[in-house]
Amino acid sequence: MFSTISGELESGRLESLMKTITHFILLAVVMVGVSSCWSTSVTKIGAANYAPLGEGKDVTIFTAESDVKQPFVVVGTISYDGPGKSDKLDFGAATEPLKDKARALGGNGIIIDKFRPINSGITSTRISVQARAIRLI
């Protein structure tokens, strides 16, 4: 009788351990999937604080500082790392995340400083964008 109870306890512990391991593996798979999407980061620059722009407000993208034909202040730096649009090295995939971050800083313009491919596997290529969020004055 004691061996039967002991066997049931060990069976229950084994089952619990297997569930825990399965949950851990599923969590790891989800985390890898999420991290392989895209990421943006932002660093505020300067002492001035600007009110965030509303969602959908226009943010102008400039490919060089010399393209900006009016005075501006830099309000932050923004970076984007992620897949290209439709698995192509297309800057279009980065525009909305960059604009969202610029709006959050009160920026109404973005100057693209770097745009480059990142090889992230045998057949996979991602893009990296470094930019400055600006406030046109």
- Do residues 103 and 57 touch, judged by C-beta distance below 8 A? yes
Q: Any idea what DSSP says for residue 86?
A: G
38-136 topology per CATH: Translation Initiation Factor IF3 (3.30.110)
Residue ranges for the chain with pLDDT beneath 50: 1-2, 5, 27-36, 86
pLDDT in the model for residue 21: 62
Domain residue spans in the chain? Answer: 1-35, 38-136
pLDDT in the model for residue 48: 84
pLDDT in the model for residue 27: 46
Residue type, 123: T
- Convert the pLDDT of each residue in 98-116 to its tens digit: 999 999 999 999 999 998 7
Q: How far is CA 83 from CA 29, 30, 35, 71, 90, in A?
A: 18, 17, 11, 33, 9
pLDDT in the model for residue 35: 43
d(CA 48, CA 112): 22
pLDDT in the model for residue 124: 64
pLDDT in the model for residue 30: 42
